[in-house]
Amino acid sequence: MFNFPAFDHLLKFLALAILLKFVHRLLNYTNNWPPGPRGLPIIGNILQLQRLPWFIFTEWKARYGPIMSLNLAGQPMIILNTHKAAIDLLNSRSRIYSDRPRLIMAAEILAGGMNVAAMSYNDRWRRMRRAVHDSLNIGAAEKYRPLQEIEAVRLVNNLLHDPDNWDSHFKRSAASTVLGTAYGWDPIEPKDDPIVERINGITHRSVRAALPGAYLVEIFPVMNHLPTWMAKWKREGLEWFRKDTELFKGFLSDVRKRIAAGNSKPCLASSILENQSKFKLTNKESAWLAGIMFAAGSETTSSALSVFVLAMSLYPDVMREAQTKIDEVVGRDRLPNFEDYDKLPYIHAMVKEVLRWRPVTPLGLPRCAAESDWYEGYYIPKGALVISNVWAMNRDPDVYPDYDEFRPSRFLDASGKVNEKFSDVMPLGHVTFGFGRRICPGMHLGNQSLFMDIACILWALNIDQATDSQGNPIVPSKDDCVDEGIVVKPAQFPCRFTARSKDAIAVLEHAKGDGKPSQF
């Protein structure tokens, strides 16, 4: 057998590090932590969180209250179950609670510290975040409306002609919209699917790498100092970062060439390039900023549309009400457009209810306490993971007495307009976009896309439950879902998309013919 003295010393060092780390965490455990369920020795509560933890956290809320704690093999985790707790900490004390936990493989190696969503709360994050906000704030988002109108027409046409593959149409439509927003691309076709899969792969690798236990280096950071020849995981991760960086740089270079030629469309990448010196961004930071925004927006939008279809299948009366409101404003001679944006409060309320009823990010992204803190008599140690239980907050019975029902009218006032003062602690009516300095920067863009997609779908199509071979309706489950790591969506179910009228088909064909990419 070969003998490697240096490797033997490394193993002893790692064993000592494991012991010291465990003893350190054990000694720092305090009875002043928020209450929580009892765990097992050493591993704590890990085995209690194997699947769909937002359901578990919400059940525990009744026993342990608005803030509770877990022990994940010595790593403290704080769960915020109420709007008040989340706002008091994530908003009012955002200086302490805007950081992310360190993810060596997912954030540092695979993304080179360039993934703004997973990045530590540092100067780079602030520069990149300001650039995104400048490009996607509520005013800037309006310049993407022509693109969103065209994509909505394409989506409805695909649903009409190939209804069985509705989930795939949602994915392609969301990807096309976000790529158009990020890079000014023309609407994508099936031939572009490999490119979309390539970009989605970046997100999927990061999510898998961030899962607890995926890489030992997250538990023992000293392993990050291993040379690449000794660490296959590190070698492969760095190679992916190189490839992904080249991909994003290539996309950004194409936009730069279009700007120079004078034929650039409004897009996030062009805005970043035009303001690169203002925000002091390097070429690599600019490339990753535009690229990662696609990954953040595509899956969330398509998943939210799946929630919408689930709701329409289960609540046909709500669908008929929405269609009546659309017809009153739009008529039957044309499709909805953004000139109708302020005239369709019921559709705005429906978007809010889609995001509230089944939030596609039920636990948001974890924060990390930058320093020790006290809240309501409880001690929150420095380095604790802080999770906002969006699922529980969006279903708080004190705010939504019938929280499990899909009822858009809850967001309307007596005059039928959107109630802008629905809740003092929730100006949006839900908390799906997050809190504080880490709130989703693309929320205005996402709201616009969902509004236009939903309005156009309901103008043109009916959504009904599918039937089995005996003609019995196939009722989809409210709770069956697919957990893809960060984004959660309803489990696939059959349903029927049918044209509301023959005139709708003719109008769609005309709109599709007019909706040429050169028009935006």
Annotated binding-site residue numbers for heme: 440
CA 36/CA 38 separation, integer angstroms: 7
Pairing of strands 385-388, 488-490: unpaired
Burial of 7 (C-beta count, 10 Å sphere; 0-12/13-18/19+): exposed
- Which residue matches tokens 């730069």? 256
Q: Which ranges constitute the DSSP H helices of 262-413? A: 268-274, 283-314, 316-330, 345-357, 390-393
CA 8/CA 411 separation, integer angstroms: 64
* DSSP 8-state class, residue 475: P
Instruction: Evaluate whether 217 touches 224 at the Cβ level (below 8 Å).
Output: yes
Other beta carbons within 10 angstroms of residue 499's beta carbon come to 16
Residue set of the binding site: 440
Residues with Cβ < 8 Å from 240, sequence gap 6 or more?
110, 202, 205
Other beta carbons within 10 angstroms of residue 166's beta carbon come to 22
CA 459/CA 452 separation, integer angstroms: 10
Instruction: Evaluate whether 255 touches 273 at the Cβ level (below 8 Å).
Output: yes
CA 355/CA 429 separation, integer angstroms: 9
For the packed helices 193-210 and 232-261, what is the interaxial angle rounded to 10 degrees?
140
| 15-47 b/e (C-beta count within 10 Å ≥ 16 → b) | eeeeeebeeebeeeeeeebbebeebeeeebbbe
Q: What is the 3-state secondary structure (H, E, C) of 335-366?
A: CCCHHHHHHCHHHHHHHHHHHHHCCCCCCCCC
The secondary element (H helix, E strand) that includes residue 459 is helix 443-460
Nearest in space to 167 (alpha carbons), one of 454, 433, 516, 495: 495
Taking phi over 0 as left and psi of -120 to 50 as alpha, with beta for the rest, 122 belongs to beta
* DSSP 8-state class, residue 389: -
Instruction: Evaluate whether 510 touches 504 at the Cβ level (below 8 Å).
Output: no
